């Protein structure tokens, strides 16, 4: 494909702000189509996901998982002694993993011929981006099309503003040098659950506080309740329909009042308070008003093809809002580039995007919950299979959790899948494909699965649905 613009006024076909999963994927797709592409990144290549989110978090969770397994070694007939997690070394490993992945992003971009500019991108006109380094404008890029993939930052709540010392966000939690004796985690979404589980496994006394009636409010209620029981079994105190008040950081402690609906206020004290109450898009600092790009509720407004209020400017990933997932950003990257290249791809269907929470047992889901399906008017049939009945799960000692499948009772096609269990985040791949292909309960039940495997539980859940 030739460059999109022969107009000498444009030095680039596409400029991309941000190099996270959305930004670098968009650059690679566009470069393959022959576009002249430049990424502007003010931090390390790979964005928050690679450097301070998905990747280092999973590296730390792996350390906690191994430590937990070592503690249970006698159950497996092993004589192993382990004193605890060396958090400084675990963090060092996670930073090395992140650095390796960041370098990998740089290698891919160079190999694809994508230009990279280090600095902060600020709109001066709808087509022009000034690149600032150390507060000084070093150059201006003029692009026919622009994709904003600037990501998001942690939200704050009044009275819970992080100070980077005792009241922290997940970023600081990923870099602590020693295991704290206690921690309060506010927010029962994916980040809050993962951080609560990690520190609990490391030996921290954790209290997890969620304002809504259950953890993971957007997930299937049955799975969320089972997760709560699992976290409590792991020693985490879980308070739902709850909030914190009178928060003060004094010396090496954080003090607060825990207010649970229907109960008297209770004093809490911990070494750290981790605030994980969601994110807002990185819209400020871009001078979007110079381009005419509209914002709503903390995110850039777009249509179903990721196009903003300005026709040649697109937004993808967390800055666009919606499901805040790296793989969604990657899918939006492809969609936006296809539109720029002149295609008319269909919009993303959120019900085809898997969601994962990486504690253990982990949570994975796709599509509609049982309640959502009923609210949309479907007559549903539901199949369940417990991991406790799996030969592989028993052999490996991972008995917690279940597979729950939701089918349309009329045509028996899969509407949603919800898993809680060891390795659920790997099992969701089969069900994502099944959802995409609109597989029926009968076809899924008739598919031969290897024995013994955890995936057999999927087949058994489909069988259960057929006979309910």
Q: Where are the domains of the chain?
A: 12-154+280-348, 167-277, 351-466
Give residue 83's pLDDT.
85
187: alpha, beta or left? (left if phi > 0; alpha if psi -120 to 50): left
Band the pLDDT of 6: cuts 50, 70, 90: low
The conformation of residue 435, written as its DSSP 8-state character, comes to H
Give residue 81's pLDDT.
86
Give residue 262's pLDDT.
86
Band the pLDDT of 223: cuts 50, 70, 90: very high
Give residue 467's pLDDT.
85
Give residue 452's pLDDT.
97
Give residue 122's pLDDT.
97
- With a pLDDT cut of 70, the percent of the chain lying above it is 98
| Per-residue pLDDT at 5 exceeds 60 | no
What is the mean predicted confidence (pLDDT) over 138-153?
A: 97
Give residue 416's pLDDT.
98
- Label the pairing between strands 380-386 and 402-408: antiparallel
Show the 3-state SS of 25-47. Answer: HHHHHHHHCCCCEEEEECCCCCH
**φ and ψ at residue 13, rounded to 5 degrees:** -75, -40
| Per-residue pLDDT at 468 exceeds 90 | no
What is the mean predicted confidence (pLDDT) over 57-63?
A: 96
Band the pLDDT of 7: cuts 50, 70, 90: low
Band the pLDDT of 129: cuts 50, 70, 90: very high
- Average pLDDT along the chain: 95
Give residue 387's pLDDT.
97
451 flagged as catalytic? yes
Question: Would the CATH topology of 12-154+280-348 be identical to that of 351-466?
Answer: no
Tens-digit pLDDT profile for residues 74-88: 999 999 888 889 999
Give residue 330's pLDDT.
98
**φ and ψ at residue 265, rounded to 5 degrees:** -65, 145
Tens-digit pLDDT profile for residues 229-251: 999 999 999 999 999 999 999 89
Query: Considering only CA atoms, which of 321, 88, 49, 89 is closest in space to residue 191?
Result: 49
| Per-residue pLDDT at 4 exceeds 70 | no
Band the pLDDT of 3: cuts 50, 70, 90: very low
Give residue 256's pLDDT.
96
Catalytic residue among 312, 418, 451, 467: 451
Q: Rounded to an integer, what distance in angstroms lies between the CA atom of residue 304 and that of residue 398?
A: 41
CATH superfamily to which 12-154+280-348 belongs: FAD/NAD(P)-binding domain (3.50.50.60)
Q: What is the DSSP string of 152-216?
A: EEE---TT----SSSEE-HHHHTT-SS--SEEEEE--SHHHHHHHHHHHHHT-EEEEE-SSSSSS
Tens-digit pLDDT profile for residues 411-445: 999 999 999 999 999 999 999 999 999 999 999 99
Architecture of domain 167-277: 3-Layer(bba) Sandwich (3.50)
**φ and ψ at residue 66, rounded to 5 degrees:** -65, -40
What is the mean predicted confidence (pLDDT) over 252-260?
A: 95
Number of C-beta neighbours around residue 24 at 10 A: 31
- Cβ-based neighbours of 448, under 8 Å, separated by 6 or more: none
Give the fold, CATH level 3, of 351-466.
Enolase-like; domain 1 (3.30.390)
| Per-residue pLDDT at 1 exceeds 80 | no
Q: Rounded to an integer, what distance in angstroms lies between the CA atom of residue 362 and that of residue 400?
A: 10
- With a pLDDT cut of 90, the percent of the chain lying above it is 93
Give residue 80's pLDDT.
87
| Per-residue pLDDT at 2 exceeds 50 | no
Give residue 9's pLDDT.
79
């Amino acid at each position: 494909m030739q460059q999109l613009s022969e107009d000498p006024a444009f030095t680039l076909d596409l400029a991309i702000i941000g190099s996270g999963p959305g930004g670098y994927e968009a650059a690679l797709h566009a470069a393959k189509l022959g576009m002249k592409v430049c990424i502007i990144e003010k931090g390390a290549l790979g964005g928050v996901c690679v450097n301070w989110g998905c990747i280092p978090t999973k590296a730390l969770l792996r350390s906690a998982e191994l430590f937990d397994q070592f503690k249970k070694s006698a159950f497996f007939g092993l004589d192993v002694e382990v004193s605890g997690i060396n958090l400084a070394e675990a963090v060092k490993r996670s930073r090395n993993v992140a650095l390796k992945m960041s370098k990998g992003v740089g290698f891919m971009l160079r190999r694809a011929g994508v230009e990279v500019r280090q600095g902060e991108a600020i709109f001066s006109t709808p087509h022009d981006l000034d690149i600032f380094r150390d507060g000084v404008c070093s150059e201006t890029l003029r692009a026919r099309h622009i994709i904003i993939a600037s990501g998001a930052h942690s939200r704050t709540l009044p009275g819970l503003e992080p100070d980077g010392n005792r009241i922290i966000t997940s970023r600081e939690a990923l870099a602590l040098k020693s295991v704290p004796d206690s921690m309060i985690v506010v927010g029962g979404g994916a980040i809050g659950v993962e951080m609560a589980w990690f520190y609990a496994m490391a030996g921290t006394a954790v209290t997890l506080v969620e304002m809504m009636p259950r953890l993971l409010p957007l997930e299937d209620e049955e799975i969320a309740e089972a997760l709560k029981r699992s976290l409590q079994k792991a020693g985490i105190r879980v308070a739902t329909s709850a909030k914190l008040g009178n928060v003060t950081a004094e010396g090496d402690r954080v003090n607060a009042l825990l207010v649970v609906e229907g109960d008297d206020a209770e004093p809490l004290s911990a070494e750290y308070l981790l605030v994980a109450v969601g994110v807002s898009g990185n819209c400020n600092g871009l001078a979007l008003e110079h381009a005419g790009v509209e914002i709503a509720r903390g995110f850039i407004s777009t249509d179903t093809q990721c196009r903003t209020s300005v026709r040649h400017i697109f937004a993808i990933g967390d800055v666009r809002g919606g499901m805040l997932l790296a793989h969604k950003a990657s899918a939006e990257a492809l969609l936006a580039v296809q539109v720029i290249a002149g295609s008319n791809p269909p919009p993303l269907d959120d019900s085809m995007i898997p969601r994962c929470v990486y504690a253990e047992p982990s949570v994975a889901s796709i599509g509609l919950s049982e309640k959502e399906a009923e609210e949309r008017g479907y007559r549903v049939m539901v199949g369940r299979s417990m991991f406790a009945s799996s030969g592989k799960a028993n052999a490996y000692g991972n008995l917690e959790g279940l597979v729950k499948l939701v089918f349309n009772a009329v045509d028996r096609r899969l509407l949603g899948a919800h898993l809680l269990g060891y390795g659920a985040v790997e099992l969701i791949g089969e069900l994502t494909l099944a959802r995409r292909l609109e597989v029926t309960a009968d076809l899924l039940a008739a598919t031969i699965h290897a024995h013994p495997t955890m995936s057999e539980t999927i087949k058994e859940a489909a069988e259960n649905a057929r006979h309910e």
